Amino acid sequence: MKAARMSNRLSWWHEWAAPLWIGCSFSAWIRLLIRNRFAVHWSRWHFAVLYTFLSVVNSYLGLWQKIWFGRRVAKTPIADPPIFIVGHWRTGTTLLHELLALDEHHTGPTGYECLAPHHFLLTEWFAPYVEFLVSKHRAMDNMDLSLHHPQEDEFVWCMLGQPSPYLSIAFPNRPLQDQRYLDLEQLTSRELEAWKRTLYRFVQQVYFRHRKAVVLKNPTHSFRIKVLQEIFPQARFIHIVRDPYVVYPSTINLHKALYRIHGLQRPTFEGLDERVVSTYVDLYRKIDEGRELVDPSRFYELRYEDLISDPEGELRRLYDHLGLGDFERFRPRLRQYFAEREDYKTNTYRLTEEQRAIVDEHWSEVMDRYGYSRQGSVECEL
Protein backbone atom coordinates (compact mmCIF):
# COMPACT_ATOMS: atom_id res chain seq x y z
CA MET A 1 0.00 0.00 0.00
CA LYS A 2 2.81 2.39 0.91
CA ALA A 3 4.59 1.59 -2.36
CA ALA A 4 1.38 2.28 -4.31
CA ARG A 5 0.98 5.67 -2.64
CA MET A 6 4.57 6.52 -3.45
CA SER A 7 4.03 5.46 -7.09
CA ASN A 8 0.95 7.68 -7.34
CA ARG A 9 2.87 10.63 -5.94
CA LEU A 10 5.69 10.12 -8.41
CA SER A 11 3.19 9.79 -11.24
CA TRP A 12 1.48 13.01 -10.14
CA TRP A 13 4.81 14.85 -10.09
CA HIS A 14 5.75 13.38 -13.47
CA GLU A 15 2.57 14.79 -15.03
CA TRP A 16 2.35 18.04 -13.04
CA ALA A 17 2.36 21.21 -15.14
CA ALA A 18 2.48 24.88 -14.29
CA PRO A 19 -0.17 26.95 -16.08
CA LEU A 20 1.25 28.55 -19.20
CA TRP A 21 1.01 32.14 -17.92
CA ILE A 22 4.42 31.60 -16.36
CA GLY A 23 5.89 33.15 -19.52
CA CYS A 24 4.01 36.47 -19.46
CA SER A 25 5.79 39.79 -19.45
CA PHE A 26 4.89 42.12 -16.58
CA SER A 27 2.65 44.30 -18.74
CA ALA A 28 0.93 41.23 -20.22
CA TRP A 29 0.27 39.69 -16.80
CA ILE A 30 -0.99 42.87 -15.11
CA ARG A 31 -3.19 43.72 -18.10
CA LEU A 32 -4.71 40.23 -17.98
CA LEU A 33 -5.52 40.56 -14.27
CA ILE A 34 -6.98 44.07 -14.53
CA ARG A 35 -9.04 43.21 -17.57
CA ASN A 36 -10.62 40.31 -15.70
CA ARG A 37 -11.04 42.21 -12.42
CA PHE A 38 -8.55 40.00 -10.58
CA ALA A 39 -11.15 37.19 -10.61
CA VAL A 40 -8.59 34.56 -9.62
CA HIS A 41 -9.99 31.65 -7.63
CA TRP A 42 -8.47 31.38 -4.14
CA SER A 43 -6.95 28.01 -5.02
CA ARG A 44 -4.90 29.73 -7.75
CA TRP A 45 -3.63 32.75 -5.86
CA HIS A 46 -0.25 31.15 -5.17
CA PHE A 47 0.21 30.98 -8.95
CA ALA A 48 -0.81 34.63 -9.28
CA VAL A 49 1.86 35.68 -6.79
CA LEU A 50 4.50 33.55 -8.52
CA TYR A 51 3.60 34.88 -11.97
CA THR A 52 3.80 38.47 -10.80
CA PHE A 53 7.38 37.90 -9.74
CA LEU A 54 8.31 35.93 -12.86
CA SER A 55 6.68 38.48 -15.16
CA VAL A 56 9.15 41.08 -13.89
CA VAL A 57 12.00 38.68 -14.63
CA ASN A 58 10.61 37.99 -18.12
CA SER A 59 10.36 41.71 -18.88
CA TYR A 60 13.89 42.34 -17.60
CA LEU A 61 15.31 39.53 -19.74
CA GLY A 62 13.26 40.77 -22.69
CA LEU A 63 14.93 44.13 -22.42
CA TRP A 64 18.36 42.52 -22.53
CA GLN A 65 17.41 40.36 -25.53
CA LYS A 66 16.34 43.50 -27.36
CA ILE A 67 19.66 45.16 -26.55
CA TRP A 68 21.81 42.17 -27.56
CA PHE A 69 19.86 40.77 -30.48
CA GLY A 70 17.38 43.42 -31.62
CA ARG A 71 19.38 44.91 -34.48
CA ARG A 72 20.75 41.62 -35.73
CA VAL A 73 17.30 40.04 -35.83
CA ALA A 74 15.80 43.07 -37.57
CA LYS A 75 18.45 42.83 -40.31
CA THR A 76 17.85 39.11 -40.89
CA PRO A 77 15.91 38.36 -44.10
CA ILE A 78 13.60 35.35 -43.95
CA ALA A 79 15.09 33.53 -46.93
CA ASP A 80 12.88 30.44 -46.61
CA PRO A 81 9.11 31.14 -46.64
CA PRO A 82 7.29 29.67 -43.64
CA ILE A 83 4.96 26.69 -43.83
CA PHE A 84 1.59 27.03 -42.11
CA ILE A 85 -0.32 24.00 -40.85
CA VAL A 86 -4.00 24.86 -40.55
CA GLY A 87 -7.07 22.90 -39.59
CA HIS A 88 -9.48 22.54 -36.72
CA TRP A 89 -8.28 21.66 -33.24
CA ARG A 90 -7.79 17.91 -32.69
CA THR A 91 -7.44 17.07 -36.39
CA GLY A 92 -3.78 16.02 -36.18
CA THR A 93 -2.11 19.41 -36.57
CA THR A 94 0.31 18.67 -33.72
CA LEU A 95 1.35 15.31 -35.17
CA LEU A 96 1.94 16.85 -38.59
CA HIS A 97 3.90 19.69 -36.98
CA GLU A 98 6.20 17.22 -35.23
CA LEU A 99 6.68 15.16 -38.38
CA LEU A 100 7.67 18.13 -40.56
CA ALA A 101 10.00 19.41 -37.85
CA LEU A 102 11.94 16.13 -38.14
CA ASP A 103 13.27 17.34 -41.49
CA GLU A 104 16.68 18.91 -40.94
CA HIS A 105 15.69 21.69 -43.35
CA HIS A 106 12.72 22.72 -41.19
CA THR A 107 12.24 24.00 -37.66
CA GLY A 108 9.12 24.31 -35.57
CA PRO A 109 9.15 26.90 -32.78
CA THR A 110 9.59 25.02 -29.54
CA GLY A 111 7.50 25.24 -26.41
CA TYR A 112 10.21 27.35 -24.80
CA GLU A 113 10.38 29.72 -27.77
CA CYS A 114 6.60 30.19 -27.78
CA LEU A 115 6.34 30.68 -24.00
CA ALA A 116 9.40 32.93 -23.73
CA PRO A 117 9.30 34.99 -26.93
CA HIS A 118 10.71 38.00 -25.09
CA HIS A 119 14.03 36.36 -24.28
CA PHE A 120 14.48 32.85 -25.76
CA LEU A 121 17.42 34.01 -27.89
CA LEU A 122 19.14 34.95 -24.66
CA THR A 123 18.01 32.14 -22.35
CA GLU A 124 17.17 29.04 -24.41
CA TRP A 125 20.21 27.28 -22.95
CA PHE A 126 18.34 27.39 -19.64
CA ALA A 127 15.27 25.47 -20.92
CA PRO A 128 16.41 22.01 -19.68
CA TYR A 129 16.58 23.36 -16.12
CA VAL A 130 12.90 24.37 -16.10
CA GLU A 131 11.62 21.26 -17.87
CA PHE A 132 10.06 20.11 -14.58
CA LEU A 133 7.41 22.81 -15.03
CA VAL A 134 5.94 20.93 -18.00
CA SER A 135 3.96 17.69 -17.91
CA LYS A 136 5.54 14.83 -19.83
CA HIS A 137 2.30 14.17 -21.74
CA ARG A 138 -0.52 16.29 -23.06
CA ALA A 139 -3.62 15.92 -20.90
CA MET A 140 -6.01 15.57 -23.82
CA ASP A 141 -4.31 12.81 -25.82
CA ASN A 142 -1.19 11.43 -24.07
CA MET A 143 1.20 12.75 -26.74
CA ASP A 144 4.74 13.46 -25.54
CA LEU A 145 5.25 17.01 -24.34
CA SER A 146 8.28 19.08 -23.40
CA LEU A 147 9.74 22.53 -23.85
CA HIS A 148 11.74 21.33 -26.86
CA HIS A 149 8.73 19.90 -28.73
CA PRO A 150 7.22 22.08 -31.49
CA GLN A 151 4.49 24.30 -30.08
CA GLU A 152 1.59 26.45 -31.21
CA ASP A 153 2.57 30.06 -31.90
CA GLU A 154 -0.74 31.59 -30.73
CA PHE A 155 0.72 31.58 -27.21
CA VAL A 156 3.27 34.17 -28.33
CA TRP A 157 0.61 36.89 -28.37
CA CYS A 158 -0.53 35.91 -24.88
CA MET A 159 2.99 36.08 -23.45
CA LEU A 160 3.69 39.46 -25.06
CA GLY A 161 0.43 41.02 -23.88
CA GLN A 162 -1.07 41.20 -27.35
CA PRO A 163 -4.76 40.41 -27.98
CA SER A 164 -5.56 36.74 -28.58
CA PRO A 165 -8.67 34.56 -28.26
CA TYR A 166 -6.52 32.18 -26.19
CA LEU A 167 -6.56 34.64 -23.30
CA SER A 168 -10.00 33.22 -22.51
CA ILE A 169 -8.21 30.12 -21.21
CA ALA A 170 -7.01 32.10 -18.18
CA PHE A 171 -10.49 33.19 -17.10
CA PRO A 172 -12.90 30.69 -18.69
CA ASN A 173 -15.93 31.92 -16.73
CA ARG A 174 -15.54 35.50 -17.94
CA PRO A 175 -16.82 36.73 -21.32
CA LEU A 176 -14.78 35.47 -24.28
CA GLN A 177 -11.80 37.69 -25.00
CA ASP A 178 -10.48 39.19 -28.22
CA GLN A 179 -12.80 37.34 -30.58
CA ARG A 180 -12.10 40.03 -33.20
CA TYR A 181 -8.59 38.62 -33.37
CA LEU A 182 -9.80 35.25 -34.60
CA ASP A 183 -10.27 36.24 -38.25
CA LEU A 184 -8.79 39.78 -37.94
CA GLU A 185 -11.49 41.18 -40.23
CA GLN A 186 -12.84 43.73 -37.77
CA LEU A 187 -9.49 45.19 -36.73
CA THR A 188 -8.52 48.76 -37.44
CA SER A 189 -5.60 49.23 -39.81
CA ARG A 190 -3.39 50.09 -36.83
CA GLU A 191 -4.42 46.96 -34.91
CA LEU A 192 -3.88 44.78 -37.97
CA GLU A 193 -0.40 46.15 -38.61
CA ALA A 194 0.52 45.53 -34.97
CA TRP A 195 -0.64 41.92 -35.27
CA LYS A 196 1.33 41.44 -38.49
CA ARG A 197 4.48 42.90 -36.91
CA THR A 198 4.22 40.52 -33.96
CA LEU A 199 4.03 37.46 -36.19
CA TYR A 200 6.76 38.63 -38.55
CA ARG A 201 9.09 39.49 -35.68
CA PHE A 202 8.58 36.11 -34.03
CA VAL A 203 9.20 34.18 -37.27
CA GLN A 204 12.26 36.36 -37.84
CA GLN A 205 13.60 35.50 -34.37
CA VAL A 206 13.10 31.77 -34.90
CA TYR A 207 14.69 31.97 -38.35
CA PHE A 208 17.61 33.97 -36.92
CA ARG A 209 18.18 31.20 -34.38
CA HIS A 210 17.88 28.18 -36.69
CA ARG A 211 18.27 29.42 -40.30
CA LYS A 212 15.67 26.93 -41.51
CA ALA A 213 12.18 27.17 -42.94
CA VAL A 214 9.83 27.80 -40.00
CA VAL A 215 6.86 25.45 -39.73
CA LEU A 216 3.99 27.05 -37.81
CA LYS A 217 0.99 25.12 -36.49
CA ASN A 218 -1.94 27.12 -35.20
CA PRO A 219 -5.64 26.26 -35.67
CA THR A 220 -6.57 29.93 -35.30
CA HIS A 221 -4.49 30.68 -38.40
CA SER A 222 -7.18 28.77 -40.33
CA PHE A 223 -9.22 31.97 -40.08
CA ARG A 224 -6.32 34.20 -41.22
CA ILE A 225 -5.02 32.79 -44.49
CA LYS A 226 -5.63 36.07 -46.32
CA VAL A 227 -3.53 38.04 -43.81
CA LEU A 228 -0.83 35.37 -43.65
CA GLN A 229 -0.51 35.62 -47.43
CA GLU A 230 -0.04 39.37 -47.16
CA ILE A 231 2.80 38.94 -44.66
CA PHE A 232 4.47 36.01 -46.42
CA PRO A 233 3.42 35.97 -50.12
CA GLN A 234 5.33 32.74 -50.84
CA ALA A 235 4.16 30.85 -47.75
CA ARG A 236 2.93 27.27 -48.14
CA PHE A 237 -0.22 25.97 -46.45
CA ILE A 238 -1.13 22.46 -45.33
CA HIS A 239 -4.72 21.76 -44.29
CA ILE A 240 -5.38 18.59 -42.33
CA VAL A 241 -8.90 17.30 -41.68
CA ARG A 242 -10.23 14.49 -39.46
CA ASP A 243 -13.49 12.59 -38.94
CA PRO A 244 -15.95 15.10 -37.39
CA TYR A 245 -17.39 12.35 -35.19
CA VAL A 246 -13.99 12.28 -33.48
CA VAL A 247 -13.24 15.99 -33.64
CA TYR A 248 -16.40 17.11 -31.83
CA PRO A 249 -15.98 15.25 -28.49
CA SER A 250 -12.21 15.55 -28.71
CA THR A 251 -12.36 19.34 -29.02
CA ILE A 252 -14.68 19.60 -26.05
CA ASN A 253 -12.26 17.41 -24.10
CA LEU A 254 -9.38 19.68 -25.18
CA HIS A 255 -11.07 22.86 -23.95
CA LYS A 256 -11.99 21.29 -20.65
CA ALA A 257 -8.41 20.13 -20.12
CA LEU A 258 -7.00 23.57 -20.95
CA TYR A 259 -9.44 25.33 -18.64
CA ARG A 260 -8.73 22.97 -15.75
CA ILE A 261 -4.94 23.04 -16.09
CA HIS A 262 -4.28 26.60 -17.24
CA GLY A 263 -7.35 28.45 -16.00
CA LEU A 264 -7.15 30.78 -13.01
CA GLN A 265 -10.75 29.97 -12.12
CA ARG A 266 -12.73 26.81 -11.53
CA PRO A 267 -14.40 26.46 -14.93
CA THR A 268 -18.13 25.93 -15.34
CA PHE A 269 -17.88 25.15 -19.11
CA GLU A 270 -21.07 27.11 -19.72
CA GLY A 271 -21.84 27.37 -23.45
CA LEU A 272 -18.78 25.32 -24.44
CA ASP A 273 -20.60 22.78 -26.63
CA GLU A 274 -22.38 25.48 -28.61
CA ARG A 275 -19.14 27.43 -29.17
CA VAL A 276 -17.39 24.34 -30.51
CA VAL A 277 -20.21 23.75 -33.00
CA SER A 278 -20.33 27.32 -34.32
CA THR A 279 -16.54 27.81 -34.42
CA TYR A 280 -16.15 24.67 -36.53
CA VAL A 281 -18.59 25.97 -39.14
CA ASP A 282 -16.89 29.38 -39.24
CA LEU A 283 -13.43 27.83 -39.48
CA TYR A 284 -14.22 25.75 -42.55
CA ARG A 285 -15.91 28.72 -44.19
CA LYS A 286 -12.71 30.74 -43.74
CA ILE A 287 -10.52 27.89 -44.99
CA ASP A 288 -12.65 27.72 -48.14
CA GLU A 289 -12.21 31.47 -48.65
CA GLY A 290 -8.49 31.31 -47.96
CA ARG A 291 -7.88 28.38 -50.29
CA GLU A 292 -9.10 30.49 -53.21
CA LEU A 293 -6.43 33.11 -52.46
CA VAL A 294 -3.46 30.74 -52.51
CA ASP A 295 -1.77 29.35 -55.60
CA PRO A 296 -2.78 25.66 -55.74
CA SER A 297 0.87 24.67 -55.87
CA ARG A 298 1.29 26.14 -52.37
CA PHE A 299 -1.81 24.61 -50.76
CA TYR A 300 -2.13 20.93 -49.85
CA GLU A 301 -4.92 19.03 -48.09
CA LEU A 302 -4.80 15.65 -46.41
CA ARG A 303 -6.85 13.53 -44.05
CA TYR A 304 -5.57 12.49 -40.65
CA GLU A 305 -6.69 8.93 -41.25
CA ASP A 306 -4.62 8.73 -44.46
CA LEU A 307 -1.58 10.13 -42.67
CA ILE A 308 -1.82 7.52 -39.93
CA SER A 309 -2.42 4.59 -42.28
CA ASP A 310 0.39 5.50 -44.72
CA PRO A 311 2.63 8.24 -43.28
CA GLU A 312 5.44 7.78 -45.78
CA GLY A 313 3.17 7.77 -48.81
CA GLU A 314 1.12 10.74 -47.65
CA LEU A 315 4.13 12.85 -46.72
CA ARG A 316 5.86 11.99 -49.98
CA ARG A 317 2.84 13.32 -51.87
CA LEU A 318 2.86 16.42 -49.68
CA TYR A 319 6.56 17.02 -50.35
CA ASP A 320 6.11 16.59 -54.09
CA HIS A 321 3.11 18.92 -54.27
CA LEU A 322 4.62 21.74 -52.21
CA GLY A 323 8.16 21.34 -53.53
CA LEU A 324 9.69 20.78 -50.10
CA GLY A 325 12.72 18.97 -51.48
CA ASP A 326 13.97 15.42 -51.35
CA PHE A 327 11.68 13.27 -49.24
CA GLU A 328 14.33 10.54 -48.94
CA ARG A 329 16.58 12.74 -46.78
CA PHE A 330 13.91 12.80 -44.12
CA ARG A 331 12.42 9.29 -44.37
CA PRO A 332 14.89 7.61 -41.92
CA ARG A 333 13.97 10.05 -39.16
CA LEU A 334 10.29 9.58 -39.97
CA ARG A 335 10.60 5.82 -39.59
CA GLN A 336 12.50 6.24 -36.34
CA TYR A 337 9.77 8.54 -34.98
CA PHE A 338 7.05 5.94 -35.49
CA ALA A 339 9.23 3.06 -34.33
CA GLU A 340 9.80 4.82 -31.01
CA ARG A 341 6.05 5.25 -30.56
CA GLU A 342 4.82 1.78 -31.41
CA ASP A 343 3.27 1.43 -27.95
CA TYR A 344 1.51 4.81 -28.00
CA LYS A 345 -2.12 4.57 -26.88
CA THR A 346 -4.70 7.25 -27.55
CA ASN A 347 -7.56 8.08 -25.22
CA THR A 348 -10.90 6.64 -26.25
CA TYR A 349 -14.37 8.07 -25.90
CA ARG A 350 -17.82 6.71 -26.70
CA LEU A 351 -19.84 9.08 -28.88
CA THR A 352 -23.38 9.59 -27.59
CA GLU A 353 -26.39 9.60 -29.86
CA GLU A 354 -26.94 13.26 -28.98
CA GLN A 355 -23.42 14.17 -30.07
CA ARG A 356 -23.81 12.18 -33.29
CA ALA A 357 -27.02 14.08 -34.04
CA ILE A 358 -25.28 17.43 -33.44
CA VAL A 359 -22.47 16.53 -35.85
CA ASP A 360 -24.92 15.26 -38.47
CA GLU A 361 -26.97 18.45 -38.26
CA HIS A 362 -24.22 21.06 -38.27
CA TRP A 363 -21.10 19.48 -39.80
CA SER A 364 -22.54 17.25 -42.53
CA GLU A 365 -21.15 19.40 -45.35
CA VAL A 366 -17.57 18.84 -44.21
CA MET A 367 -18.23 15.12 -43.75
CA ASP A 368 -19.52 14.78 -47.29
CA ARG A 369 -16.76 16.86 -48.84
CA TYR A 370 -13.94 14.83 -47.31
CA GLY A 371 -15.58 11.44 -47.63
CA TYR A 372 -16.47 10.64 -44.03
CA SER A 373 -19.25 8.13 -43.40
CA ARG A 374 -22.42 9.17 -41.58
CA GLN A 375 -22.30 5.75 -39.90
CA GLY A 376 -18.91 6.21 -38.23
CA SER A 377 -17.87 4.27 -35.14
CA VAL A 378 -19.42 5.33 -31.84
CA GLU A 379 -16.04 4.74 -30.14
CA CYS A 380 -13.62 7.56 -30.85
CA GLU A 381 -9.89 8.02 -30.35
CA LEU A 382 -9.22 11.39 -28.76
**3-state SS assignment for residue 214:** strand
**What pLDDT, on the 0 to 100 scale, is given for residue 135?**
57
Average pLDDT rounded to a whole number, residues 208-233: 97
Confidence of residue 374 (pLDDT cuts 50, 70, 90): confident
Domain ranges, ordered by start, for the chain: 17-370
Strand duo 379-381 + 348-350: pairing: antiparallel
CA 9 to chain CA centroid, nearest Å: 29
Predicted TM-score of the model (pTM): 0.91
Average pLDDT rounded to a whole number, residues 37-54: 93
**What pLDDT, on the 0 to 100 scale, is given for residue 17?**
58
Q: Are 294 and 287 in contact (CB under 8 A)?
A: no
**3-state SS assignment for residue 221:** helix
379 strand-pairing partners: 350
**What pLDDT, on the 0 to 100 scale, is given for residue 6?**
39
Say if residue 15's pLDDT is above 60. Answer: no
Q: Are 246 and 379 in contact (CB under 8 A)?
A: no
* DSSP designation for 238: E
Rg (CA), the chain: 21
Query: Tell me: the pLDDT tens digits for 227-241?
Result: 999 999 999 999 999
Average pLDDT rounded to a whole number, residues 147-151: 84
Fold of 17-370: Rossmann fold (3.40.50)
Strand duo 348-350 + 236-241: pairing: unpaired
Average pLDDT rounded to a whole number, residues 162-171: 96
**3-state SS assignment for residue 348:** strand
